[in-house]
Structure 1
Amino acid sequence: MKHAELRSIVHNVADSLGSGIGLMIGHYEMDVYGDAERSHERAITVDFLHGVVIEGEPSTSLVESVALYKTAFADLCSKAGGSIANVVEAKARFWSDALNCHFTVTITDRDGHRSATDYAGIPGQRVKILDPLGRLRPRPSAQARCKTFDFASGWPEWEESGMAALEATPQETDHLTGIPDASIFCITGALGFPLFMR
């Protein structure tokens, strides 16, 4: 399963959760954006690979829904000809502002390719920005790739350009070019993790 296909699957699962209409799981009493608004962090982060909420203060209904999405996610991967065994990370962070609802999909595949992609609205669509010619284009995903793996420490070494894009804050990247100054940088948590080798 290609990285873009995995991103599409996680987007579909996150979009289903964000819509509050869980046709995918047969559960309809959920309001992830409402729970995010009530949380101290003003956000909810969901780990679809394990079916748990890892950031925010979810309601009981949301916790139950997210657990069901674990199976739905695995089924979608299987139907696409892939397997969750090839997935290291599949998360979505939900929050809202005065203008819209937002979620960011962060995925990592077994090859060490990691990306974070922004969506807005219900249904969630790619956030767009103006290119140098004034045309609306989808905001590029922030990406990083594992280039080596340190077996002694158990952590991968990331290419610096990708690390900068995924770790920095918008203020820290104002002087950089080629890196989207987006809400993708609101993602929290350590970038390093044990990489499952083939």
Structure 2
Amino acid sequence: MAPSDTRTQILDAAERLFAERGFSGTSVRAITDLAGANLAAVGYHFGSKAELVAAVARRVVEPINAAQCAGLDRLLARTPDPSVADLVEAFAGPMFDGMPAGDEGGARTSRLIVTIISDPAEEMRDWTGPAEAAVRDRYLAAFERALPGLSSEELWFRLRGILAVVAVDRVEVYNRRLPADLSPMAGEAARRWAITFLAAAMSAPPTGA
């Protein structure tokens, strides 16, 4: 197996196992066994298990982040003050695109995102860096302009809620495995429902107001 193929096989195996078992429940040996690689390959290609989970997370998240940034750029090119609904669509839409119903790759992505959100291991939270922070900060700033009455803490809570709702919906849709539920029409409807629901949630009055 060529070195580049080995690295990809390890990433594929690690993504599947981290999503299914979490960080602490996944051993390096289990990853290399599934990947058909030797135990030293993780150290050679990634350095450590923590650096491997960071590489797995970034491989999944970076295309979504790039699409989110592109969507926000398009909105801001039209108006300096996009609506809440438009901001929600620009933020949530790429997650639906990256986690299509009925697709095993999309299901792995959604399961991994749910694991990142819920796993107590610090390594599942410490992988983010300046690129991920830049996306978060850009959307927070745009939502702050659209929702000036919200505190920064409540706004960040609501933004995390968008991520959680979309990821959990995608996992649930895949796990049902019912042809009618996984039709393209149902997938597009779910996207519209989610954006309508999340825009209303984001626009709700500040708590206690």
Higher Rg: 2
TM-score range, shorter chain: under 0.3
Q: If the length of structure 1 is used for normalisation, what is the TM-score?
A: 0.28
Larger RCO: 1 or 2 (CA < 8 Å, sep 6+): 2
Q: If the length of structure 2 is used for normalisation, what is the TM-score?
A: 0.27
More strand by share: 1
